[in-house]
Structure 1
Amino acid sequence: MDDEEHLRRFEDHSLPHAQWTHRAHLKVAYLHLLRLPYPEALERLRTGIKAYNAAHGIQDTPTGGYHETLTQVWLQLVHTALRQFGPAESADAFFDTQTQLSDKHTPLLYYSRDRLMSAEAKRSFVTPDLTALPS
């Protein structure tokens, strides 16, 4: 599916839950960053993920559902790569070259597991305790 269809299906919640992968999350972040200033991209991503989760019956639990800190960390990492390397002809092409973004453990370079997986980090953004995020 092309970028426009991916974003449309995310926004209208027709993207199957089985396809709502790590990469699918990152593609939505990337596509928002191409179209919007960072603060607006963050707000659209935040509200979009929450709405998508609700539409698919994904419950917020201590270990599942929406996670504010992870949302902001991944958006910042995509934003940094986009600023440093520029956009590609598609989101998939971008992520094919930015392979560091495919490792779901990357946030653990910045956060201890306990801090990142805390209830506070799930509910609201917490700053890293190991090293600063790239800016």
Structure 2
Amino acid sequence: MSDEFQELLAEVMSHADHFGHREHLELTWLAVRRHGSSAAVELVSEGIQRTARYERVPRKYHATISRAWVELVGHHVRERAQENDFAEFVARNPALLDKRLINRFYHASTLASSHARSEWVEPDRTPFP
């Protein structure tokens, strides 16, 4: 899967000058569309974790946040499975562009916990759609 992550990353970065939230969403969107949500959780999480270790910032990886974004993107991909254009996807789902969206589902204290950083924690405010 590591090669697949690198391919997805290269595809996203071919038209971007930095890797920000939008690029993270696009990589996740591609992974979900090509591999399904379950496989995308593993692919994206492992890829981000490996990249953070390589960049010597392993604390940047957050297991719950990584999976939560895959779950959210996956939900919207399932609603519009025929959509083949990422720009159209985010235009139809603009809330995904807000990094704070995750706070609708989790309390800040939950996300700040070491448990949530290292393992998946279910939403504790409201379930995902």
Normalization by structure 2: what TM-score?
0.81
Amino acid corresponding to residue 41 of structure 2 in structure 1: L
**Amino acid across the alignment from 1:60:** P
In structure 1, stretches of 5+ residues that fail to align are 1-6
Partner of 2:33: 34
Instruction: List, as ranges, runs of 4+ consecutive aligned residues in structure 1 with deviation greater than 4 Å.
Output: none
Superposed counterparts of 1:99-118, under 5 Å: 99-118=94-113
* Counterpart check, 1:98 vs 2:98: no
CA RMSD across the alignment: 2.4
Q: Percent identity?
A: 25
CA–CA distance in structure 1, aligned partners of residues 63 and 10 of structure 2: 19
Residue ranges of structure 2 left out of the alignment (5+ in a row): 1-5
Q: Distance in 2 between matches of 1:9 and 1:130?
A: 32
- Could you tell me the TM-score, scaled by structure 1's length? 0.78
- What SS does structure 1 have at the residue aligned with 2:88? helix
Aligned length: 122
- 2:53 aligned with 1:54, yes or no? yes
More helix by share: 2
Whole-Å separation in 2 of the counterparts to 1:58 and 1:21: 18
Letter in 2 for 1:130: R
Show the counterpart of 2:84: 89
Structure 1 residues 87 and 71, CA gap change in structure 2 (3 angstroms):
farther
